[in-house]
């Protein structure tokens, strides 16, 4: 059988691959994959993603163009009855398609390891912030500033932060992820973990739990505020315990929103909630599942939060998580009680 030359085909294919690769890579580069980065740690993550998109764009062009070109150029034409050329092995080609991907993967591995070292390495003048996860939410503490547990993560811009993370749950893993920060870290029961960030852009962000952890997973979020250092100092000053009932009730309302209480307890008085409504609760008699009654005073509401199964209201399932006593400080529970008092 005469040997055919494929040189012409290879030149055409190479040109089409080049054009397709450039179009694909430019197109991928224009897609807004994630919100703009907001930490110094994000740089190495985004740089690596950029390199990977170039490799992906090229590989896509290589595979698609070779395949589609072959389908068109080497299709069986009318009256053609012979078999195609038979190839058996091609050592050069096999070495090429083994060595090139190997080198590419090794380069990505080295870049990835370097990026990981940069993103997780200790920083100078770090400030520690405690992150506590529970089913289903987050609280934040600032041991160096005497702030115990706040529902919103306030961070001063350009300040290196080390997040010391813990979970009060015993049976599920949560995950701290702010997409704009790029880095993320699991919160594992009994295993303290750390995450390092230096927020470099003032703005509002959201912590999302990125580990499927139960029915409240999709609502397991918390607000992050990256603020100027003077705004941060002002916020720290505001965190001193409040004794003014109106202000306490307002802080309580914020806690209720951030701790997910509204998922089960409404404040409108509508029947059919998962837990009892809070409207008109304070000061009234409630019927308990054991047939007795109790007055919904401060002590009753406090106990219902820290030990929810002690006095279950009749007609409701005993399903409230028992972790709020670990998550909320007594001060914060007082705020919530003060808020419930306002719901006549």
List residues near ligand CUA by CB under 6 A: 136, 174, 209, 211-213, 217, 220
The rounded distance, in Å, linking the Cα atoms of 126 and 162 is 6
Nearer to ligand CUA, 136 or 154 (CB): 136
**Minimum distance from residue 215 beta carbon to ligand CUA (Å):** 10
> Least distance from C-beta 212 to ligand CUA, angstroms?
6
C-alpha neighbours within 13 Å on the C-beta side of residue 324: 24
Query: Whose Cβ is closer to ligand CUA: residue 211's or residue 298's?
Result: 211
Residue 49 has phi, psi (to 5 degrees) of -60, -40
Q: Quick one: which H or E segment has residue 33?
A: none
CB of 183 to ligand CUA, least distance (A): 17
E strands, 178-247, where? Answer: 184-187, 193-197, 203-209, 221-227
Q: Which is nearer to ligand CUA, 28 or 152 (CB)?
A: 152
**3-class SS of residue 70:** helix
CB of 133 to ligand CUA, least distance (A): 6
State in angstroms the smallest separation of the CB of 186 from ligand CUA: 10
Q: List the Cα angle 73/78/82 in 5-degree steps.
A: 80
Report whether 150 contacts 86 (CB < 8 A).
Answer: no
Q: Could you tell me how many residues make up the chain?
A: 344
> Which is nearest to 300 in space by CA: 339, 343, 251, 337?
337
Comparing CB distances to ligand CUA, the nearer of 20 and 139 is 139
Q: Closer to ligand CUA at the Cβ: 56 or 208? A: 208
Cβ 33 to ligand CUA shortest distance, Å: 22
Cβ closer to ligand CUA: 220 or 312?
220
Give the three-state DSSP class for 155: strand
CA 299 to chain centre: 36
């Amino acid at each position: 059988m005469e040997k055919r030359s494929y040189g012409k085909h290879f030149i055409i294919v190479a040109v089409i691959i080049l054009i397709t690769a450039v179009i694909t890579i430019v197109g991928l580069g224009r897609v807004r994959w994630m919100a703009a980065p907001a930490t110094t740690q994000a740089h190495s993550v985004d740089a690596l993603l950029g390199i990977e998109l170039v490799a992906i764009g090229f590989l896509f062009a290589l595979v698609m163009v070779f395949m589609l070109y072959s389908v068109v150029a080497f299709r069986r034409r009318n009256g053609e009855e012979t078999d195609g050329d038979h190839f058996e092995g091609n050592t050069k080609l096999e070495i090429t398609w083994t060595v090139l991907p190997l080198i590419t993967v090794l380069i990505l591995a080295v870049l990835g390891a370097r990026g990981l070292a940069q993103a997780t390495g200790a920083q100078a003048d770090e400030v520690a912030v405690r992150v506590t996860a529970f089913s289903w939410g987050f609280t934040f503490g600032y041991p160096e500033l005497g702030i115990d547990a706040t529902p919103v993560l306030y961070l001063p811009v350009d300040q290196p932060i080390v997040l010391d993370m813990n979970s009060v749950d015993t049976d599920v893993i949560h995950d701290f992820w702010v997409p704009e920060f790029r880095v993320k870290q699991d919160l594992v029961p009994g295993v303290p973990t750390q995450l390092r960030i230096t927020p470099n852009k003032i703005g509002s962000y959201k912590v999302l739990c990125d580990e499927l952890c139960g029915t409240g997973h999709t609502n397991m979020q918390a607000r992050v505020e990256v603020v100027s250092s003077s705004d941060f100092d002002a916020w720290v000053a505001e965190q001193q315990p409040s004794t003014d009932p109106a202000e306490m009730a307002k802080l309580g309302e914020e806690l209720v929103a951030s701790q997910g209480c509204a998922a089960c307890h409404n404040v409108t008085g509508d029947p059919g909630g998962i837990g009892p409504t809070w409207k008109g609760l304070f000061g009234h008699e409630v019927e308990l599942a054991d047939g007795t009654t109790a007055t919904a005073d401060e002590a009753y509401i406090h106990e219902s939060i820290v030990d929810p199964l002690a006095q279950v209201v009749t007609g409701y399932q005993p399903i409230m998580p028992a972790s709020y006593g670990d998550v909320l400080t007594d001060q914060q529970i007082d705020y919530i009680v003060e808020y419930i008092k306002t719901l006549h």
